[in-house]
C-alpha cells in the first residue's frame, strides 16, 4: 500500500483494523516506502505491563525475557495481552523510506526514542541481552518499524540515553499537567513512580508557590524521597485500592476541602474511585495509569453523585518531549532522582 500513514498494511487478517487494536502485526523486512526502520537497543515496558508479567512469571530476569519474547513472536509487537499496553523503545535509525516525513530530517545512524506505544509498533526480537526488573527495561537486539504517524524524538546529547528513555517514556504526563494546573489549586498525585515524580515537578512549577501539592503512594520510602527533594508539600501513605480510606486521608490533609485536581499515575488497577472521591465537586481527575477502567471510573463517579471532569491522558501533547527533557535540565533534584532510581 502506497504511503500507508497508519500502518494498515502491516495488520494481519483484520481488514480496516488499526495496528494498536490488531491481534497481530507483520514486522517482516524490507522497510516500505512510508516507513522508518530502527535497530532496537532497549524496550521500556509500560509499568502496568511489566508488573503483570512479573506477577505472572516471577521476577527472575530469564523468565521475564522469555515471556516478552513469547508475546512478540505471537503478536509481532510488544502488547501485553492482559493489560493491552506496551511501552516505547530507543534505537538507531537504519533506513528511511522515501515517503516517510523523516526523510531528509533524520540520517541513518541517528539515535531516537519512539514516542508511540509498542502496542502498535511492528517488532522483531532476535536476542534479549539483559532484563532490568527494577526499571522495567529490556535490552535487546532486533528491529522495529515506525509509520508516518509514529512520533519520535532524537536523543539529547547532554544526558545519558537511559535517562532520556526513562523520562520520554512518560513525557505526555507532565505536559498535560501543565495545561491544567494553575496557582492556588490543591493538587494530588497518586503514584510515586516516574510519571508521578514528573507530574509533581511540573505541578510545583505551575502552582508558582500558591496552592498545595499532595503525593500519595503505598511506599513510605518513595514518599520520603519525594518530600526530601521538595517535590510536594504533604505525603500520604495510602493503599489506593481502598477508596474510602484514601478519601478520608485526603480530607484530613485538606481540612475537608478535598482537591481541585487529582492525577492518577498508579500502576495497579482498582484505583479509579480513590481518585474520584478525593476531588471536590467541579474538580478534575487525569488518569495516566494504563490500569484505568473506563467503566469503573464512569459508573463509579455516577454512583457517588460526583460532579467531576475526567480525562484520559493519551500520551501525546504537542511539545511533550521537549517539555519533559527541559524539566530534567531545570530541576537538578528531579534529575538526580531519575539517575539514581531509573538509570
Model pLDDT for residues 161-210, shown as the tens digit of each residue: 889 988 998 899 999 999 999 999 999 999 999 999 999 999 999 999 99
Contact 118, 78 (CB under 8 A): yes
Contact 214, 264 (CB under 8 A): no
At 87, the pLDDT band (50, 70, 90 cuts) reads very high
Mean pLDDT taken over the chain: 95
> How far lies 113's CA from each of 23, 97, 165, 166, in Å?
24, 18, 7, 10
Angstrom distance (rounded) from CA 234 to CA 328: 22
**Grid cell listed for 212:** 498545595
For the chain, the domains span: 8-155, 172-341
> How much is the pLDDT for 314?
82
Q: Where are the beta strands (DSSP E) in the chain?
A: 36-45, 87-96, 111-114, 123-132, 137-146, 152-154, 186-190, 212-217, 234-237, 259-264, 279-287, 309-312
At 1, the pLDDT band (50, 70, 90 cuts) reads very low
**Grid cell listed for 240:** 489506593
pLDDT above 90: residue 116: yes
Residue of 231, 171, 167 whose CA lies nearest to 205: 231
- pTM exceeds cut of 0.75: yes
**CATH 3.40.50.720 is held by the domain 172-341:** yes
Architecture of the CATH domain 8-155: Alpha-Beta Complex (3.90)
Angstrom distance (rounded) from CA 235 to CA 223: 6
Query: Mean per-residue pLDDT for 117-125?
Result: 97
What interhelical angle do 320-330 and 194-207 show, nearest 10?
80
pLDDT above 80: residue 3: no
Which residue's C-alpha cell is 514528573? 198
pLDDT above 50: residue 279: yes
Amino acid at each position: 500500500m502506497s504511503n500507508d500513514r497508519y500502518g494498515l498494511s502491516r495488520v494481519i487478517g483484520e481488514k480496516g483494523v488499526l495496528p494498536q487494536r490488531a491481534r497481530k502485526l507483520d514486522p517482516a523486512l524490507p522497510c516500505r516506502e512510508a516507513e522508518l526502520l530502527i535497530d532496537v537497543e532497549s524496550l521500556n515496558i509500560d509499568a502496568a505491563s511489566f508488573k503483570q508479567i512479573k506477577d505472572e512469571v516471577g521476577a527472575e530476569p530469564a523468565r521475564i525475557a522469555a515471556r516478552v519474547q513469547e508475546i512478540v513472536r505471537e503478536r509481532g509487537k510488544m502488547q501485553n495481552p492482559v493489560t493491552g499496553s506496551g511501552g516505547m523503545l530507543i534505537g538507531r535509525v537504519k533506513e528511511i523510506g522515501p515517503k516517510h516525513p523523516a526523510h531528509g530530517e533524520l540520517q541513518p545512524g541517528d539515535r531516537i526514542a519512539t514516542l508511540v506505544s509498542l502496542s502498535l509498533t511492528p517488532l522483531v526480537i532476535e536476542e534479549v541481552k539483559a532484563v532490568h526488573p527494577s526499571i522495567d527495561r529490556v535490552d535487546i537486539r532486533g528491529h522495529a518499524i515506525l509509520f508516518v504517524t509514529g512520533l519520535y524524538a532524537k536523543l539529547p546529547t547532554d544526558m545519558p540515553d537511559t535517562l532520556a528513555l526513562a523520562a520520554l517514556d512518560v513525557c505526555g504526563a507532565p505536559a498535560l499537567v501543565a495545561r491544567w494546573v494553575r496557582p492556588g489549586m490543591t493538587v494530588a498525585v497518586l503514584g510515586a513512580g516516574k510519571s508521578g515524580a514528573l507530574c509533581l515537578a511540573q505541578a510545583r512549577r505551575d502552582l508558582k508557590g500558591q496552592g498545595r501539592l499532595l503525593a500519595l503512594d503505598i511506599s513510605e520510602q518513595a514518599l520520603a524521597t519525594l518530600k526530601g527533594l521538595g517535590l510536594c508539600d504533604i505525603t500520604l501513605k495510602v493503599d489506593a485500592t481502598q477508596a474510602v480510606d484514601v478519601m478520608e486521608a485526603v480530607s484530613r490533609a485538606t481540612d475537608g476541602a478535598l482537591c481541585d485536581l487529582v492525577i492518577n499515575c498508579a500502576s495497579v488497577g482498582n484505583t479509579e474511585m480513590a481518585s474520584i472521591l478525593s476531588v471536590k465537586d467541579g474538580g478534575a481527575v487525569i488518569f495516566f495509569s494504563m490500569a484505568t477502567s473506563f467503566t469503573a471510573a464512569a459508573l463509579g463517579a455516577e454512583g457517588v453523585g460526583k460532579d467531576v471532569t475526567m480525562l484520559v491522558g493519551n500520551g501525546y501533547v504537542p511539545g511533550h518531549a521537549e517539555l519533559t527533557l527541559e524539566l530534567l535540565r531545570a530541576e537538578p533534584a528531579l534529575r538526580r532522582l531519575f539517575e539514581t532510581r531509573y538509570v
